[in-house]
Amino acid sequence: MTKSMKIGFSPCPNDTFIFGALACGMVDWPGGLDVTLADVEELNGQAEAGTLDVVKVSVAAAARILDDYILLRAGGAMGYGVGPILVTRDVRSLDELDGSTVAIPGKRTTANLLFGMLCREKGITVERREMVFDEVMPAVRNNEVDAGVVIHEGRFTYEEQGMRKLLDLGAWWEERKGLPIPLGAIAIRRSLGPGIAWAMNEAIRISLVHARSNPDGIVPFIREHAQEMDEDVICEHIETFVTGYSLDVGKEGEEAVAELIGEACHMEGLEPPTGEVFIQRPL
């Protein structure tokens, strides 16, 4: 296990909190790491292109890459009360969305999949406008679109920017499925083999444990990549999106991911995966 690994995750505080100790060398990876930080939709594209060995992906996007990648059990974003939110300035109800323009944070994202499921259930037809996630709220605020699907820190700040919630898409999922909403997962190339995959799973888990035990050590790394994000929002972001499922998805988490990947396959006309979706602990 001396191979240098190309690893990609987002600059959002939950990811930099989880991966910070590993990326900064506080947790060792023999052979070293070539780290890429990018928006999750860009990472989804890199995973589909196969340019990274280990990559954070939207769970919705995982449906397209499971022939070449397997999901790790640690490092993901999943939970109750953590889902994307549909926000607006002037639209008063979901029915009024029909025929409108809605900003989405990337076509491969779990947020867009949930919104598509909602539109299908409600019989709503909209024009979806793809944007980087931090462009969605300004577009809504400036009346460039009628509504937007916000993720990450947007769920904490939309009201102070003059918007209101039309629907919490995560809560909508939870009510229908009785499961946590799986937002993101960590994928690793199947060709690397189960030994390296499990070693990376454990390195990520240890990195998260290290961050929880020694938060001051990774604060500079988190702040560097959070850019202008308010300190309180950074803390709330981490507390919200880093959950027990980030240490290990568990049986419920596996069920939630399988359910969401099934929805993605149905929406996109893909064949459901036939092999193992998650790496399993070696016997």
Query: Which tokens hold the place of 260?
Result: 């969401």
Q: Find the domain containing 10 and state its range.
A: 5-79+182-268
The answer to whether position 244 is within a domain reads yes
SS3 letters for 36-87? Answer: EECCHHHHHHHHHHCCCCEEEEEHHHHCCCCCCEEECCCCCEEECCCCCEEE
In a domain, 206, yes or no: yes
Whether 278 maps to a domain, the answer reads no
The pLDDT, as a whole number, for residue 283 is: 65
Residue 273 included in any domain? no
Alpha-carbon separation of residue 131 from 9, 23, 122, 186 (angstroms): 19, 28, 24, 23
266 among known catalytic residues: no
> What is the per-residue pLDDT across 62-97, written as a single tens digit (0 to 9) for each?
999 999 999 999 999 999 999 999 999 999 999 999
Task: Determine which one of 152, 210, 225, 237 is catalytic.
Answer: 152
211-253 pLDDT, tens per residue? 999 988 999 999 999 866 788 888 989 999 999 999 999 999 9
Q: Are residues 162 and 217 in the same domain?
A: no
187 and 152 both lie in a single domain: no
Is residue 143 located within the same domain as residue 110? yes
Q: Which of 144, 177, 210 is the last residue of a domain?
A: 177
- Nearest CA to 82 among 14, 176, 141? 14
Same domain, 67 and 192: yes
- DSSP at 162: T
Query: Does residue 89 contact residue 162 with C-beta atoms inside 8 Å?
Result: yes
